[in-house]
């Protein structure tokens, strides 16, 4: 193979890894908005898909690290993509199978087979994203040749990851619109097909190129001995707990906010029309601010220590969340048109209902009762009323508390890197094993939001954020005290 061919293959591999980096966020962030559909059918199921997705990390974290050593980066990545394709396909099956097959009941409510199929698919997708998380960062570093170039590729991949996290709730919100008892998984299957197509194409590309395997175990090589566990280091043990809680914070804040915005009952934010789409647009800003936060952190990290950053963002996040809790939901602001345009959205709704584009545009520019009367049958078939159409043209008002919760994205953006860096400080040869344990603790992104969702059902959406404050308080403690290495007597070389 010539040098040009090798370089071309490397470029293709880098592009594929970038897509996979984005797919990690895309697949992970499908769970929360999909929960709007299942939560409308089962009050307790809103965060179950998210929990199953993250629960897989508990089982796959350490094995994924072992796979890198035994079968290498390439085969681990291929396995992850195949598993992800299967998981997404099973989620798709939940839209066509089992809606009429009752299996058991929870609290007197029958649970149907299609929910179980969806949860199985979400669990399998969790295996996929866990393996991809283990592969993509070091693989991009390898393809970049390490050093500054490798780090640059990782940062670029992280940017795409944040971008995908920003766009996913927007896409789902556009497809769902207002969640009703008629909204089903079949309404969002295009997203599943797009994701499956990306996995399939990436699988073909990665299988056709050569990837360096410096960590692949060689036959006959002696295995390195470890006299202690990484958890023997106090700052690592406390850091593992911090990672568990952090992922719960990162996922729980926007997920519960999405439910709050989409709920048209008295418990919700008071948005009666297109709540899911508006909520998706607002939540997208949270993920966008995470992207901004990561960029800003990269600019100041040379001068401001990781510990100082963690202490600062934990403190600010606590203040923002407290303000959100105590701000009455009747205090709000009009959503800017660049975030959500009610005129454009109403036009799309009318067009999807079967009304010609020209007529829909004419109506939104000059709403008339005559138009609504003439198209009453079409609107009724699309489960809309003249009142709901007129209401959708109004600029929606969102509780001010949502703004403070969205701003938390600036804070959560730098927490993962900060906790990880502090927790592996001084571990030496134990760092790799600690990384596998950290990957297991990503399960917190499923467990803690699920608990928060249960609390919101009993005490209200905003009251459930007291759990988030408690978790943020632990991160503040870790930054102040818990991150100090008090086990320097343990040999690490």
pLDDT of residue 257: 92
Tokens at 141, concatenated: 């570093």
Give the confidence band of 155 by pLDDT, cuts at 50, 70, 90.
low
For residue 111, the cross-strand partners are 104
In percent, the amount of the chain with pLDDT more than 90 equals: 24
pLDDT of residue 87: 93
CATH 1.20.1250.20, domain 1-212, yes or no: yes
pTM higher than 0.95:
no
Closest C-alpha among 21, 31, 20, 80 to residue 55:
31
pLDDT of residue 151: 45
Residue range 306-350, pLDDT digits in tens? 899 999 999 999 999 999 999 998 898 888 877 778 888 888 888
Question: Distance between CA atoms of 438 and 423, rounded to whole angstroms?
Answer: 10
The more confident residue out of 55 and 188 is 55
The fold adopted by the segment(s) 229-340+396-493 is Growth Hormone; Chain: A; (1.20.1250)
Give the confidence band of 226 by pLDDT, cuts at 50, 70, 90.
low
The more confident residue out of 360 and 19 is 360
Measured on CA atoms in the order 319, 325, 330, 336, is the torsion positive or negative? positive
DSSP string, 174-187: HHH-S--TT--GGG
CB 303 within 8 A of CB 375: no
Question: Distance between CA atoms of 447 and 243, rounded to whole angstroms?
Answer: 13
Q: Which parts of 179-221 fold into alpha helices (H)?
A: 189-207
Burial 353-383 (b: 16+ CB within 10 A, else e): bebeeeebbebbeeeeeebbeebeeebeeee
Once rounded to an integer, what is the mean pLDDT over residues 449-474? 94
Which segment of 23-27, 47-51, 488-492 scores lowest on mean pLDDT?
A: 488-492
Question: Distance between CA atoms of 438 and 419, rounded to whole angstroms?
Answer: 10
102-106 vs 109-112, strand pairing mode? antiparallel
End-to-end CA separation in angstroms for the chain: 39
User: What are the Cα distances from residue 168, in Å, to 52, 110, 391?
Assistant: 19, 30, 26
The more confident residue out of 83 and 335 is 83
CB 419 within 8 A of CB 242: yes
**DSSP class of 335:** P
Question: Distance between CA atoms of 389 and 379, rounded to whole angstroms?
Answer: 9
In degrees and rounded to multiples of 5, residue 470 shows phi and psi of -60, -40
The whole-chain average pLDDT of the chain stands at 82
Q: Is the pLDDT score of 224 beyond 60?
A: no
Which residue's entry shows tokens 């609390």? 455
Asked whether this chain's domains 1-212 and 229-340+396-493 adopt the same fold, the reply is yes
Chain centroid offset of residue 333 CA: 26
Question: Distance between CA atoms of 16 and 38, rounded to whole angstroms?
Answer: 32
Q: Where are the domains of the chain?
A: 1-212, 229-340+396-493, 353-392
Rounding to the nearest 10 degrees, give the CA dihedral for residues 35, 38, 40, 42: -120
Which segment of 74-88, 138-152, 330-344, 391-405 scores lowest on mean pLDDT?
A: 138-152
Q: Which parts of 189-336 fold into alpha helices (H)?
A: 189-207, 234-262, 275-300, 306-326
Closest C-alpha among 340, 416, 414, 350 to residue 382:
350
């Amino acid at each position: 193979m010539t040098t040009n061919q090798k370089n071309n293959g490397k470029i293709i591999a880098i592009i594929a890894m970038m897509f996979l980096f984005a797919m990690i966020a895309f697949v992970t962030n499908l769970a929360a908005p999909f929960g709007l559909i299942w939560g409308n059918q089962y009050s307790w199921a809103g965060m179950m898909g998210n929990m199953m997705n993250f629960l897989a990390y508990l089982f796959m974290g350490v094995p994924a690290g072992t796979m890198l050593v035994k079968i290498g980066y390439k085969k681990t990545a291929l396995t992850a993509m195949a598993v992800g394709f299967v998981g997404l396909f099973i989620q798709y099956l939940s839209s066509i199978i089992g809606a009429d097959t009752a299996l058991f009941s929870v609290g007197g409510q029958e649970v149907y087979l299609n929910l179980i199929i969806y949860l199985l698919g979400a669990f399998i997708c969790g295996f996929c994203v866990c393996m991809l998380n283990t592969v993509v960062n070091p693989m991009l570093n390898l393809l970049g040749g390490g050093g500054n170039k490798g780090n640059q590729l990782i940062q670029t991949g992280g940017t795409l990851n944040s971008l995908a996290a920003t766009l996913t709730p927007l896409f789902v919100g556009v497809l769902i619109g207002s969640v009703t008892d008629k909204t089903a998984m079949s309404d969002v299957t295009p997203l599943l097909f797009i994701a499956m197509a990306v996995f399939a194409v990436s699988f073909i590309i990665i299988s056709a190129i050569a990837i360096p395997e410096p960590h692949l175990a060689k036959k006959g090589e002696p295995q390195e001995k470890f006299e202690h566990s990484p958890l023997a280091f106090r700052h690592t043990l406390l850091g593992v707990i911090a990672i568990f809680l952090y992922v719960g914070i990162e996922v729980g804040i926007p997920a519960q906010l999405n439910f709050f915005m989409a709920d048209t009952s008295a418990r919700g934010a008071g948005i009666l029309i297109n709540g899911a789409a508006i909520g998706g647009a607002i939540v997208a800003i949270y993920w966008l601010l995470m992207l901004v936060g990561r960029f800003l952190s990269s600019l100041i990290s040379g001068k401001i220590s990781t510990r100082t950053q963690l202490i600062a963002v934990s403190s600010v996040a606590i203040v923002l969340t407290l303000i959100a809790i105590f701000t009455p939901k009747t205090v709000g602001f009009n959503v800017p048109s660049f975030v959500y345009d009610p005129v454009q959205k109403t036009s799309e709704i009318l067009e999807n209902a079967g009304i010609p584009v020209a007529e829909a545009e004419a109506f939104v520019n000059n709403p008339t009762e005559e138009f609504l009367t003439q198209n009453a049958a079409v609107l009724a078939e699309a489960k809309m009323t003249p009142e709901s159409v007129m209401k959708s043209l109004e600029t929606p008002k969102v509780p001010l508390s949502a703004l403070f919760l969205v701003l938390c994205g600036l804070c959560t953006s730098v927490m993962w890197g900060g906790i990880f860096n502090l927790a592996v400080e001084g571990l030496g040869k134990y760092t790799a094993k600690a990384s596998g344990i950290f990957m297991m603790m990503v399960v917190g992104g499923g467990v803690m939001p699920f608990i928060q969702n249960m609390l919101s059902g009993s005490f209200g959406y905003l009251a459930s954020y007291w759990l988030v404050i408690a978790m943020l308080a632990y991160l503040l403690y870790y930054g102040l005290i818990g991150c100090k290495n008090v086990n320097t007597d343990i040999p690490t070389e």
